[in-house]
Structure 1
Amino acid sequence: MKEYTVAPNKDATGWYVKVEDIAPTDHYEKKDKAIAKAEEMAQENKPSKLYILDKYHEVQEEKSY
């Protein structure tokens, strides 16, 4: 099962989409756009999980596909 993460950058001024918690794959200025891209990637690679983190890098939301 693949895992995708949407996490803020150090200053919470941008958002990264990570695959398998390795190096970020994409950077977005808006959280909504990062979530949309991560959801799309997770749906294309079922079964998968998506974790959305807050500015403290704590899991805010978890979704399964």
Structure 2
Amino acid sequence: MREYSVRPNKDVTAWMVKIEDVAPETSFDQKDDAIAHAEEMAKEHSPSRLHIYNNKMEVEETRNFD
């Protein structure tokens, strides 16, 4: 199962989409835009899981795509 995540950068000025917790795939100014992009990628490569972090780097939601 492939793992995706949406997490803030150090300054919380951008939101990064990561694949398998490696280097960022891309970054966005808005968290909602990053989530939409990550969801699209996760759906295309299902089964997969998306972890969404808050600005304190805590997982606030996990979504599974089968």
TM-score scaled by length of structure 1: 0.98
Ranges in structure 1 where 5+ consecutive residues have no aligned partner: none
Q: In the comparison of the two structures, how many residue pairs are matched?
A: 65
Ranges in structure 2 where 5+ consecutive residues have no aligned partner: none
For 1:36, the equivalent position in structure 2 comes to 36
2: CA distance between counterparts of 1:37 and 1:16?
Answer: 10
For 1:22, the equivalent position in structure 2 comes to 22
1:45 and 2:45 correspond: yes
TM-score scaled by length of structure 2: 0.96
For 1:59, the equivalent position in structure 2 comes to 59
1:1-12 alignment runs, 5 A limit? 1-12=1-12
